[in-house]
Amino acid sequence: MSLKRKMVIKFAKWVSSTSQKIRGGQGVTLPGYIARKLNPSILTSLSSDVRKKTFVVLGTNGKTTTNSILYHALTAEGQKVIINKTGSNMMNGVVSSFVLATDKNGELDADYACIEVDEIASLTVLPKIKPDYLVLTNISRDQLDRFGEVDITFQKLKEAINKTPKMTLLINGDDVLSYTLAKESKHDFITYGINEQIFDSTSRSEIRESIFCRKCGHKLEYNFFHYGQLGDYHCPHCGLTRPEAAYAASNIHLSESGSTFDVGDRSFTTGAKAPYNIYNTLAAYAALRIAGLEAPHFENMIAHYDYGNNRESVFNIGGTNIQIHLAKNPIGFQQKISLVLKDPNPKDVMILINDEYQDGEDVSWLWDVDFQYLADANANSIIATGKRGYDMRLRLKYEDIPCEVSLDLENTIRDCIENRTDNLYLIVNYTGLYSTNALLKNLSNDYAGKED
């Protein structure tokens, strides 16, 4: 190790430690920013120290959960693994994950790296990491002001992939956009998918990112949809067809406690109540297998895996069951609405919409979500909050769905706990996620103290 690298790492870690004390755990990307400024090649240097393989996970929806499952699976096999746990998936966050994983001497002790990467950031991150495997979950609209329409995301990902040689792609073959991208790339690829129609009509909705063949431009035909453009597709004009998945989930059974499904000759029992988490589990398992790991402990690991990951947390506060769900784009939001409708009991629903940079400053995507289903949610009240709470109320007005607006999140949650249905769903976009989780933890302690 060069003296310069060692000194840069030590200084960046000192900055991180100081920032944690001053800012109370915030600023996880700062050490990466400092390290890059002092040593622009720091990421390439550190990532080359990973002894075995590096996985990068990309995609509009599901990459954080997929990456987390992959990390836990490798750890269960006794491997030492680097991961960007906080979900900081831009360049500085990725560099931070490597810098902070070093020991007191600045040395990296890792068999594998599992790194989720923002789709646009992949243009600069992938060539520096040079991963062995890239897992692509799906491609759909996300943050219009950053990504633009889905064609721009497609082209950016294609450019990033083609700039990164000697990398095997693991692709969701049910997504015609991901499959076409793999076919147009210069890389070897392997597909995974779900062979059965397991998503309900609310999940499937009418949100379609692409129903036209990218090869010839004709309209695709579907035997069935999962959600968005994902499903069993074929082009009647040029013959493009959903590939037979090398790793396919079959014999799927969903229940209130979780799900069971088979992949080849192995059967998995999971706590995944939402069907989209079967995709995430399948992608992680397939990634292990294409890397040559038998993963004998995967069944036990996945049976105990917590799919919440701070993005689907459950609290019981003052006798009220509170669920918090992240939804940050049209397809993701549609899946959360489906979850709400699966609960037949009376409930209150709060929707928090912000427009910070991390959320996307353009919230016009709200008009692409089929909110009309909420009329059948048996909701005692629907409350909009966040910086764009009034935009959310306006959107629901066009569906003739009554909606309150409250900009006082804490007192509104307290009101729900003390005066409403004892069953609260909180759907939040990105910047509301961690602050709302923290608020609920504080409220949980507060109400526990009152009971004592």
Contact status, residue 130 vs residue 243, Cβ threshold 8 Å? no
Query: Six-digit token pair at 32?
Result: 């990466």
List, edge to edge, every strand of the sheet that includes 423-428.
312-317, 320-326, 423-428, 347-352, 379-385, 404-405
Catalytic residue among 262, 306, 362, 408: 362
- If one looks up domain 3-303 in CATH, what number appears? 3.40.1190.10
Say whether domain 312-451 belongs to CATH 3.40.50.1100: no
* The predicted structure's pLDDT at residue 143: 47
User: Is 416 within any annotated ligand binding site?
Assistant: no
User: Is 114 within any annotated ligand binding site?
Assistant: no
3-state per-residue secondary structure call for the chain = CCHHHHHHHHHHHHHHHHHHHHHCCCCCCHHHHHHHHHCCCHHHHHHCCCCCEEEEEECCCCHHHHHHHHHHHHHHCCCCEEECCCCCCCHHHHHHHHHCCCCCCCCCCCCEEEEECCCCCHHHHHHHHCCCEEEECCCCCCCHHHHCCHHHHHHHHHHHHHCCCCCEEEEECCEHHHHHHHHHCCCCEEEEEECCCCCCHHHHCCCCCCCECCCCCCECEEEEEEECCEEEEECCCCCCECCCCCEEEEEEEEECCEEEEEECCEEEEECCCCCHHHHHHHHHHHHHHHCCCCCCCHHHHHHCCCCCCCCEEEEEECCEEEEEEECCCHHHHHHHHHHHHHCCCCEEEEEECCCCCCCCCCCHHHHHCCHHHHHHCCEEEEEEECCCHHHHHHHHHCCCCCCEECCCHHHHHHHHHHHCCCEEEEEECHHHHHHHHHHHHHHHHHHHHHHC
| Short-list 393, 366, 386, 389, CA closest to 431 | 386
**C-alpha triplet 321, 324, 328: angle, nearest 5°:** 160
3-state per-residue secondary structure call for 389-447 = HHHHHHHHHCCCCCCEECCCHHHHHHHHHHHCCCEEEEEECHHHHHHHHHHHHHHHHHH
Residue 360 phi/psi, 5-degree rounding, is: 100, 120
What is each CA distance from 317 to 161, 287, 323, 382, 426, in whole angstroms? 46, 39, 11, 19, 14
* The predicted structure's pLDDT at residue 189: 97
For residue 449, the cross-strand partners are: none
pLDDT (tens digit, 0 to 9) for every residue of the chain, 452 residues total? Answer: 688 889 999 999 998 888 777 765 556 788 999 999 999 999 999 999 999 999 999 998 889 999 999 999 999 999 999 999 876 888 999 999 999 999 988 899 999 999 999 888 999 999 999 999 999 999 886 544 344 467 888 888 999 999 998 899 999 999 999 999 999 998 999 999 999 888 766 655 555 556 788 888 898 998 888 877 888 999 999 999 999 999 999 999 988 888 999 999 999 999 988 888 999 999 999 999 999 999 999 999 999 998 876 667 889 999 999 999 988 888 888 888 988 988 999 999 999 999 887 777 888 888 888 899 999 999 999 999 999 999 999 999 999 999 999 999 999 999 999 999 999 999 998 788 888 988 999 999 998 877 65
* The predicted structure's pLDDT at residue 276: 85
Q: Could you confirm whether 348 is annotated as catalytic?
A: no
| Short-list 165, 268, 181, CA closest to 229 | 181
* The predicted structure's pLDDT at residue 147: 44
User: Is 403 within any annotated ligand binding site?
Assistant: no
Distance CA 272, CA 305 (A): 9
Contacts of 350 (CB under 8 A, 6+ apart): 382, 383, 384, 385, 412, 413, 416, 424, 425, 426, 427
* The predicted structure's pLDDT at residue 428: 93
Contact status, residue 117 vs residue 89, Cβ threshold 8 Å? yes
For residue 263, the cross-strand partners are: 249, 266
Contact status, residue 362 vs residue 329, Cβ threshold 8 Å? no
Residue 115 phi/psi, 5-degree rounding, is: -125, 120
Q: Do strands 53-58 and 112-116 pair parallel, antiparallel, or not at all (unpaired)?
A: parallel
Parts of the chain belonging to CATH 3.40.1190.10:
3-303
pTM: 0.83
